[in-house]
Amino acid sequence: MPRGPALLRGCPCASPLLLPPCRALALPLPLPRALAAAGRGRGAGLGSGGGGGGFRPSRVVVVAKTTRYEFEQQRYRFAGLSEDDLRQLLALKGSNYSGLLERHHIHTKNVEHVVDSLRNERIEVRLVKRREYNEETAQWADAVISAGGDGTMLLAASKVFDRCKPVIGVNTDPERSEGHLCLPVRYTHSFPDALQKLYRGEFRWQWRQRIRLYLEGTGINPTPVDLHEQQLSQEQHSWAHINGRFQDQRSEISGPHLLPVRALNEVFIGESLSSRYAVCSVLFRVNYKSCKPSFKFSLHRASYYEISVDDGPWEKQKSSGLNVCTGTGSKAWSYNINKVANQAVEEILKIVKKHGSLNLPLNREFIQKVTNEYNDSLLYSPEEPKMFFSIREPIVNRVFSSSRQRGFSSKVCVRSRCWDACMVVDGGTSFEFNDGAVASILIDTEDALRTVLLED
Amino acid sequence: MPRGPALLRGCPCASPLLLPPCRALALPLPLPRALAAAGRGRGAGLGSGGGGGGFRPSRVVVVAKTTRYEFEQQRYRFAGLSEDDLRQLLALKGSNYSGLLERHHIHTKNVEHVVDSLRNERIEVRLVKRREYNEETAQWADAVISAGGDGTMLLAASKVFDRCKPVIGVNTDPERSEGHLCLPVRYTHSFPDALQKLYRGEFRWQWRQRIRLYLEGTGINPTPVDLHEQQLSQEQHSWAHINGRFQDQRSEISGPHLLPVRALNEVFIGESLSSRYAVCSVLFRVNYKSCKPSFKFSLHRASYYEISVDDGPWEKQKSSGLNVCTGTGSKAWSYNINKVANQAVEEILKIVKKHGSLNLPLNREFIQKVTNEYNDSLLYSPEEPKMFFSIREPIVNRVFSSSRQRGFSSKVCVRSRCWDACMVVDGGTSFEFNDGAVASILIDTEDALRTVLLED
């Protein structure tokens, strides 16, 4: 349960858009104590922003991304490579060592800038990377700052389950990263400006809705697999679970488990690591006698499942997978799955024209206009408590159909008919989702992530 | 080099569509010897079909698929499970054990039918599965028959590099498999009918064009990884290669290697096992001290590369990957990547109508018509020596653009800027394709696969 910071004004959570006020702030603290707290800089209040009170955290965790340079270093660490060896190795692979190092330095400098700015305000800072970042650290902090790109924001958000905990993103490599979820690029090099705006209340809170997942069915495995860092072999992992269940005789149908994750962008359901015909499910087998590890990639396959939207009828489907996103995620993968190309619109309109049905001449401008309007219709506000589901590369044949390739919904239920599928949350955490498992996917405004929109 | 069977008539390879006649048959054998060979049933001729001579193989390899049931058995074999244990385990996972067994039996029966039919004609048959099937076996045979679905046809074709070697597919589970590449479903249960047609020449040869790949650049690794079966750990595999090169000082730019594969469906290029934001590149690390294997999934990412079509200018792109297919493959993954949904066409036309540009009323029929016409335009004949490239989920932003999302071409060159990418051929074989590597992708009619179109 979150430790609630004191309020300067009424809890901003109780805005008309959202329902139950922040649990921890059910009763506003008496004013003197709140002011004292604010003065001490400890447990400073969550101002309503936008002309109201400011926000002055006293403890901040900065979650920094792992650069590609660090990634390559870590990857070959077990071999005890020197810096020179690493340079040669990367050159052998054709990678650009100096380019990687340069981006690493840019990022590192920008992180230092953020950390220094915070410490100059006598804010207590913990700087962590992926491995060290956890829920306790997020709870310790008054605010979480991600220093990286959008991926790092997803990471930062993944350990926050408290609607009152602000998460702010700083884009540490604006030349390479879009940073949709981050503050505007100008604050990367002048973070104190952002801090001042926070203090002065020259911002408003933005609640980014998130998706929650329930899992049920025979033999489900609610243990998350961290796709970013995993120390157990997959097979040992699965086997340990199966063994456990085998012995416990827990083979009855399990009730719905609420999974310990909230999707900020999307949930993707499909055959493990599915790239359609190039799916490989990794089977890790250890030959205990020789201690010679090996693994097998099995045959690729499409994803089979049944889907029910808003408690509608179940429909069998076969596709490259199902994507269910939030307003935040509507700009991310979902957008790329669903957007239409200029070229496609042009060809469709040519066909229409051929049938004599088109008035206007087919000029570039018109085609672009139609394309843009179509693509824009795929985007919606992160604050809207609705989901957008889309089926990726649906397969339509004798057995499978797909009446609606996509649409808005409040609830999506999926029954797996897959061999080796998973549900992947924000590209980072995955859950087994095999034949028989049923997932219920929906938004609860309780799960919204509090982020910051600075005023210009 | 293929051992050329004797001819009954002129080499069918010398058809107007294709260029150099089959190398092994540059000179027709003298008639008496050919007839004698035919009589002996050994090295029987490749008739021209279609009213000309028939085709009567004396040695056939039947490549049978691995059923899901067998897959599940193998997967848990190391644990020494009994049949009963397996049944329980599958039930725990929610899989339908009896369903799997039923499909396994259906398939097995149909394979037996094919093998028996061949042996009844005194044809020497070798029945193999994936593991035992190799180039030598394909060369030994006069014809290759795949017994499974389309995936098994891809497997069967993958060991055939001889334009004169017929490859024929039998669909052993018509209820579950589309079998686009297989004989019509009626021959599954009456394979002798198919054989008779072959003997009587009541068929024509169909040459399915295939794609070849050249790879060059610093530090490339032309060793294929079989995604279906691999005994080495990925990391050991990569490390062995890197180590070897490190010691050999072979760090200079290597000239173009022609890779030992031919794509019947497509080549897909992208970050390893890319499912866009859910890419996991498997890094296998062995802790030699404790013999405790582990692996790490690293962060997902999109694919970066540069592409040049038909020797045109290089263009930087970022996407979920690039698909380059043949006419055969135009019905496969490529079709699913590029086809447009009814729903999308309807929405596009609604936008057009809003601008007052549409004459006709937007009825279901018209929308379906336009949709079908558009989707049909994605398909073309397997015999056409041209490729179709498509970019999957292109990302368009400040840095990256994509002038053409897809199109026909004779040649596609790709320069990788990826971290951990690969080129996947027919979903089954993959090659490292990392930063700096350059692939040249094209069709050479020499590589065409000879298949059979039976007459009605």
pLDDT digits (tens, 9 = 90+) for B274-293: 332 222 222 222 222 222 22
Mean pLDDT of B413-442: 86
Q: What b/e readout covers A62-89, taking b as 16+ CB neighbours within 10 angstroms?
A: bbbbbbbbbbbbebbeeeebeeeebbbb
Q: Please tell me the predicted confidence (pLDDT) of residue B234.
A: 41
Q: Give the pLDDT confidence score for residue A10 in this predicted structure.
A: 34
User: In this complex, which of A343, A374, A428 lies closest to B347 when CB atoms are compared?
Assistant: A374
Query: Cβ contacts (< 8 Å) between B375 and chain A: which residues?
Result: none
Which of these, A265, A275, A261, A229, lies nearest to A439 by C-alpha position? A261
CA distances from B248 to A96, B243, B244, B245, B251 (A): 21, 9, 6, 5, 8
Q: Torsions phi, psi of A186, nearest 5? A: -60, -25
Is pLDDT at B335 greater than 80 in this prediction?
yes
What's the distance, Cα to Cα, between the start and end of chain B in Å?
34
Q: Does B224 touch chain A (CB under 8 A)?
A: no
C-alpha dihedral, A72 to A77 to A80 to A85, nearest 10°: 0
Average pLDDT (B235-242) is 45
| Option in A276, A291, A294 nearest B333 (CB) | A276
Q: Would you state the pLDDT for residue B359?
A: 76
The strand pair at A124-128 and A59-64 is best described as parallel
- A411 vs A176, residue with greater confidence: A411
**Residue A104 phi, psi (nearest 5):** -65, -40
To the nearest whole Å, the CA of A40 is away from the closest chain B CA by 40
Q: What is the pLDDT of residue B171?
A: 97
| Mean pLDDT in residue range B20-49 | 39
Give the tens place of pLDDT for each residue, A293-310: 222 222 345 788 899 999
- The answer to whether the CB atoms of A374 and B395 lie below 8 A apart is no
Q: Residue B201 — left, alpha, or beta (φ > 0 → left; ψ -120 to 50 → alpha)?
A: left
* CA A267 from centre of chain: 8
| Cβ contact A10:A28 at 8 Å | yes
- Confidence at residue A42, expressed as pLDDT on a 0 to 100 scale: 36
Task: Establish, for the pair of chains A and B, how many residue pairs have beta carbons separated by less than 8 Å.
Answer: 298
Choice between A371 and A96, residue whose per-residue pLDDT is larger: A371
In tens, the pLDDT along B360-372 reads: 788 899 999 999 9
- Asked whether B431 and B438 are in contact (CB, 8 A), the reply is no
Among the residue ranges A342-351, B68-77, B153-162, B412-421, the one predicted with the least confidence is B68-77
Contacts of B231 in chain A (CB under 8 A): 294, 296
Taking contacts as CB-CB distances below 8 angstroms, the residues of chain B near A332 are 277
Listed by number, the residues of chain B in 410-439 with a beta carbon closer than 8 Å to a beta carbon of chain A are 416, 419, 424, 426-428, 430, 434-437
**For residue A395, is pLDDT > 60?**
yes
Alpha-carbon distance B433 to A94, whole Å?
A: 10
pLDDT tens by residue, A23-70: 333 333 333 433 333 333 334 455 544 445 799 999 999 999 999 888
Instruction: Give the pLDDT confidence score for residue A95 in this predicted structure.
Output: 65
Instruction: Quote the percentage of chain A above a pLDDT of 70.
Output: 72
What residues form DSSP beta bridges with B308? B413
Q: Is the pLDDT of residue B197 over 60?
A: yes
3 state SS of B74: helix
Chain B window 186-215: which residues touch A at a Cβ cutoff of 8 Å?
none
B453 pLDDT higher than 50: yes
Determine, for residues B435 and A93 on separate chains, whether the beta-carbon distance falls below 8 Å.
Answer: yes
Q: Tokens at residue B227, please?
A: 């995604």
CA dihedral (A438, A440, A441, A444) positive or negative: negative
Distance CA B368, CA A351 (A): 12
pLDDT of residue B339: 92
Structure tokens at A237: 């992992």
Q: What are φ and ψ of residue A286, in 5° steps?
A: -110, 130
| Partners of A407 in the β-ladder | A389
Which residue's structure tokens are 């490292």?
A: B432
What pLDDT was estimated at residue B322?
Answer: 93
Q: Tell me the residue type at A218.
A: T
Compute the distance between CA of residue B307 and CA of residue B256 in angstroms, rounded to an integer: 17
Interatomic CA distance for residues A375 and A382, integer angstroms:
17
CA distance A430 to chain B (A): 9
| CA atoms of A129 and A111, how far apart (whole Å) | 11
Torsions phi, psi for B70 (to 5 deg): -65, -40
Categorize the per-residue pLDDT at B258 as very low, low, confident or very high, splitting at 50, 70 and 90. Answer: very high
Q: Do residues A229 and A133 touch, judged by C-beta distance below 8 A?
A: no
Q: Say what the pLDDT of residue B393 is.
A: 86
Q: What does the mean pLDDT of chain B come to?
A: 78
Average the pLDDT over A85-96 and give the result: 72
What is the interface pTM, i.e. ipTM, of the complex?
A: 0.75
Whether the CB-CB separation of A228 and B281 falls below 8 Å is answered with no
Inspect the interface and report whether the beta carbons of A298 and B228 lie closer than 8 Å: yes
Least confident of A154-163, A252-261, B53-62: A252-261
Give B165-174 pLDDT, tens digit per residue: 999 999 999 9
Render the burial of A261-286: b for 16+ CB within 10 Å, e for the rest.
bbbbbbbbbbbbbbbbbbbbbbbbbb
What are the CB-based long-range contacts (under 8 Å, 24+) for B39-43?
B41/B122, B41/B123, B43/B3, B43/B5, B43/B6, B43/B142
For the residues B102-113, what does the mean pLDDT come to?
96
CB A449 within 8 A of CB A167: yes
Q: Which of A392, A256, A408 is nearest to A330 (CA)?
A: A408
Q: Distance (Å) from the C-alpha of residue A285 to the closest C-alpha of chain B? A: 8
Joined tokens for residue A445: 């405004």
Interface subset of A 437-456, CB within 8 angstroms of B: 437
Please state the length of chain A.
456
Contacting residues of A for B271, CB less than 8 Å apart: none
pLDDT at B116 (0 to 100): 98
Non-local (6+) Cβ contacts of A113 within 8 A are A188, A189, A191
Contact by Cβ (8 Å): B237, B290: no
Q: Is A400 on the interface with B (CB under 8 A)?
A: no
Please name which of B274, B240, B273, B408 lies closest in space to residue B334, comparing C-alpha atoms.
B408
Give the span between the Cα atoms of A313 and B234, in whole angstroms: 44
Q: Which helix (H) or strand (E) holds B243?
A: helix B234-248
The answer to whether the beta carbons of residues A358 and B352 sit under 8 Å apart is yes
Q: Determine the pLDDT at residue B6.
A: 34
Q: What is the pLDDT of residue A227?
A: 64
Which helix (H) or strand (E) segment is B44 a member of?
A: none
List phi, psi (to 5°) of B105: -70, -40
pTM over 0.90: no
Q: Can you tell me the mean pLDDT for B140-147?
A: 98
pLDDT at B436: 79
What would the mean pLDDT of B224-241 be, rounded to a whole number? 49
Check residue B183 and give its pLDDT: 97
Do A297 and B71 make contact, defined as CB atoms within 8 angstroms?
A: no
User: Which of B17-31, B139-153, B310-324 is predicted least confidently?
Assistant: B17-31
**Tell me: the pLDDT tens digits for A411-452?**
999 998 877 788 889 988 888 887 778 999 999 999 999 999
What residues of chain B, 296 to 315, have a C-beta less than 8 Å from chain A? 296-300
3-class DSSP string for chain A: CCCCCCCCCCCCCCCCCCCCCCHHHCCCCCHHHHHHHHHHCCCCCECCCCCCCCECCCEEEEEECCCHHHHHHHHCHHHCCCHHHHHHHHHHHCCCHHHHHHHHHHHHHHHHHHHHHHHHCCCEEEEECHHHCCHHHHHHCCEEEEEECHHHHHHHHHCCCCCCCEEEEEECCCCCCCCCCCCCHHHHCCHHHHHHHHHHCCEEEEEECCEEEEEEEECCCCCCEECCCCCCCHHHHHHHHHHHHHHHCCCCEEEEEECCCCECCEEEEEECCCCHHHCCCEEEEEECCCCEEEEEECCCCCEEEEEEECCCCCEEEEECEEEEECCCHHHCHHHHHHCCCHHHHHHHHHHHHHCCCECCCCCHHHHHHHHHHHHHCCCCCCCCCCEEEEEECCCCCCCCCCCCCEEEECEEEEEECCCCEEEEECCCEEEECCCCCEEEEEECHHHCEEEEEECC
**Strand order through the sheet with B124-128:** B124-128, B59-64, B143-148, B167-171
Interface probe with B: pick from A352, A418, A435, most Cβ of B within 10 Å: A352
The mean of the pLDDT values for chain A is 78
pLDDT bucket at B380, cuts 50 / 70 / 90: very high
| pLDDT, tens digit, 9 for 90 and up, residues A191-215 | 999 999 999 999 999 999 999 999 9
Query: Which of the four pLDDT bands, split at 50, 70 and 90, describes residue A356?
Result: confident
pLDDT, tens digit (0-9, with 9 covering 90-100), for B53-100:
799 999 999 999 999 888 888 777 767 778 888 888 777 665 678 888
A356 at interface of B, judged by CB pairs closer than 8 A? yes
Q: Decide if B234 and A295 are in contact by the 8 Å CB cutoff.
A: yes
Q: If you average pLDDT over residues B217-232, what whole number do you get?
A: 61
Which of A57, A32, A31 is CA-nearest to residue A46?
A57
Identify which of A79, A94, A234 has the shortest CB distance to residue B435. Answer: A94
- Quick one: pLDDT band at residue B113, thresholds 50, 70, 90? very high
